[in-house]
Structures are given as structure tokens and as C-alpha cells.
Amino acid sequence: MNTKKIALITGANKGIGFETARQLGRQGIIVLIGARDLAKGEGAAEKLRQEKIDAHALALDVSDQESVRKAAKQVERDYGRLDILINNAGIMVDDQKKMASEQSLATWRKTFDTNVFGLIATTQAFLPLLRKSEAGRIVNLSSILGSITFHAKPGSPVYDSKSYASYNVSKSTVNAYTVQLAYELKDTKIKVNAAHPGWVKTDMGGEGATMELVDGAKTSVALGTLGPDGPHGAYVHMGESLPW
């Protein structure tokens, strides 16, 4: 039986997901690189293996139920359990910068298919394997843009950031799901939390981003490796709680 912890990071072939895998791998954790494009996942895993990290690619498109099912079966066959699930995959689609009433229904559907329904589908598929862990950890990648409290409060850090409506609301929904799942799992060894990585220099973050990748991954890594006294059902950035 493998005694090393096993972590799955969705959307991990680049950006925050890749850096999260790197930091977890450096702690001696086996990292599974979830990627829609298996070739890109294999490339990312090979880069990590060159750094002496035990990394393996896993074909996983969170918006495709069959892909999610196959990925869970593969992990069950190869490892028998999962210790850490980082729900990192997320999108911000082309007409995202329109206001709430201007965004097409297609944009809302596409955003929610990945950011919400994909996250839920992945969690449901891998939860039986997380239950087999001695200390399962689920980290849902949210954003400060998902804080309803901040969006409703004039002068808050995100009050004027309303031109990303479907993305914002999708992350608010991720927060709400995190609270529901945390309640369900409160009497188990599994901890589930929502993470705000920060405004990170990635393709999605854009040119104005203020945080480096190495820092953007730190919240996910910390929540994925929590001890038994760590938070459960929290919304966290760099160790500090955010208002829902």
C-alpha cells in the first residue's frame, strides 16, 4: 500500500494549478495533474518529474461527466484512495467583462458548467476515495470576487468589480456549496474549505495582477495540507478569513 499522500489538482497543466502541484510535490506528495488535454498534462507532469516530483497526468475535463467518471475510476484502480482534492479548474469566458444584464445566457451556462457544476461533479466522483483517506482535504478555488458581503458594501475591495458578473456569481456559488458540503462532512476526517488565491499573474489574472504564481498557490497548498486542528468550512486567503 502506498503510504505517500495523493493529491489531485484539476486544471493543473499551467498557472496556479501547476504551481500548486509543484509545491505539494515538494512536500513528498504524489501529484495527479488533471488536464482537459492529456498531452499538455503529460508535459506538465514531465516538467515536475525533472524536479524529482512524483507527478502523473490524468485526463480530466470537469465539464464532461464521462471524463470525470473515468478519471475517478483510474485513480481508484491505481491508488485506491485520494487524500487531497484541489478543485482548481475555472474559466472566464470572452464576453465576461459585460455587466450582469448584458452577458448572454450562453456565457452564464458555460461559466457555471465549469466553475460550479464541474466542481460539484468532480467532488461527488472523488468523495468516496477521499473518505478512504486518514485525513481527506478538499479545497475549492474561489475568489474574493465571490464575496457577496464585499460586493454589497460600498468602498470594499471589489465593490466596483461588477463587470465580471457570471464569473463573480459562479464563485459566490462555489462559496455556498463549500458551506453546504462542510456541514455534510463535519463529523468526518475530511476538511473542506474555499480558497482565494489572490490576484495572480496568470493568463486569467491579466497584466495588472499583483501576486506572483509562487504566492498564488500558497493558500491552496496550506488548506490541502491542514492538520486536524485546521479550519473547516472557511473562506481563506493567506491564512486570513474573508467575509462570505
Who's near 157: CB < 8 A, 6+ residues apart? 144, 150
Contacting residues for 11 by C-beta, under 8 A, at least 6 apart: 17, 34, 35, 36, 62, 88, 89, 90
Phi-psi category of 157—alpha, beta or left, where left has phi over 0 and alpha has psi -120 to 50?
alpha
159 catalytic? Reply is: no
The two beta strands, 6-9 and 84-87, are: parallel
User: Which is catalytic among the residues 79, 164, 167, 235?
Assistant: 167
The separation between CA 156 and the C-alpha centre of its own chain, rounded to angstroms, equals 25
Give the position of cell 457570471.
Answer: 166
Give yes or no: 167 in active site. Answer: yes
- Which entry of 5, 79, 164, 171 is annotated as an active-site residue? 171
- Mind telling me the catalytic residues? 167, 171
